[in-house]
Amino acid sequence: MSEAAPTTTRHKRGEPLASQWWSQRLTSVLEGYGLGPRMERGRRYARGGRVRVLEVKTGRLEARVQGSRATPYRVSIRSKAPTKDQWRQLEAVFATRLGWAARLLAGELPTDLEEACAEAGVDLFPHHWSDLEVRCGCPDDAEPCKHIAAVLYVFAQQLDEDPWLLLAWHGRNRDTLLKALRQRSTNPVTSASPEELPPWWPPGLRARPDPRTKPPDPLPPDPPERALQRLGPLELPAAGVDLEPRLVALYRQLLGLG
């Protein structure tokens, strides 16, 4: 899996490299490593357009950074990607939170995605410098050198425009994740008894019964407001705090339920 991203920057001197909460979160993590001047030199390289090419692949970033020599240096930054089981867990959560995919398609990262990743044992952002394995072709033996730091800052900057790059770094680009969610919606369950289901299995979702056994009793129908609940909090400040219960009441009235 590989996604090449443009490396041009529109940020002027003095402006932050990142403006969205998720890209700011990554820059704050980078600056929290306590590497001081090394990261600052990398920031200047990022602003100066020294990162010529940046490819986002599963568990790694690969880049070419122009240094003092004519040939750009090759930079590789590796991190631990989620396992298949961890992604199955995350996809199950995505399937129950319809608002997540909608927000990503709108260019936003759900604010509670980091918490869900943590519950699955996945770090959405590398918490420690030791979580990264870095290499650069320059003669500087410091870690990180300014070329490595520049790549991380440019990656954070590009997340502003495309939050899907963060998921691609973890092994699921846009097309792969949406395909998995479509397959889950058309074939959402597997043959298993309730006792065999993993703890992250969505509440109320039954496993497909074994054809040799008696079919289970049907689940009670969802209440009409369940669709609103699955969308998550309605972030419409101008509408006031009572918007959701009013929508529920109106919906039930239209259906003649209450």
The DSSP line for 93-146 is HHHH-HHHHHHHHTT---TTHHHHHHHTT--SS--SGGG-EEEESSS--SSS-H
Kindly state the tokens that stand for 76. 């590789």
Distance CA 156, CA 144 (A): 16
CB 216 within 8 A of CB 206: yes
CA angle at 141 for the pair 165 and 130, rounded to the nearest 5°: 50
**So what's the pLDDT on residue 141?**
86
CA neighbor of 66 nearest in space, from 9, 146, 126: 146
**So what's the pLDDT on residue 3?**
53
Distance CA 240, CA 218 (A): 38
**So what's the pLDDT on residue 39?**
87
Distance CA 16, CA 138 (A): 27
Question: Residues of the chain whose pLDDT is less than 50?
Answer: 6, 8, 10, 188-192, 209-212, 216
Distance CA 178, CA 168 (A): 12
According to DSSP, the residues that pair with 57 across neighbouring strands are 2, 60
Distance CA 32, CA 53 (A): 26
Which amino acid is located at 118 in the chain?
A: A
For residue 77, the SS3 value is strand
Q: pLDDT digit string (tens) for 107-141?
A: 899 989 999 999 999 999 998 999 999 999 999 98
For residue 188, report the phi and psi dihedrals to the nearest 5 degrees: -80, -15
Q: pLDDT digit string (tens) for 65-84?
A: 999 899 999 999 999 999 99
Distance CA 65, CA 63 (A): 6
Label residue 222 exposed, middle or buried (CB < 10 Å: 0-12, 13-18, 19+).
exposed
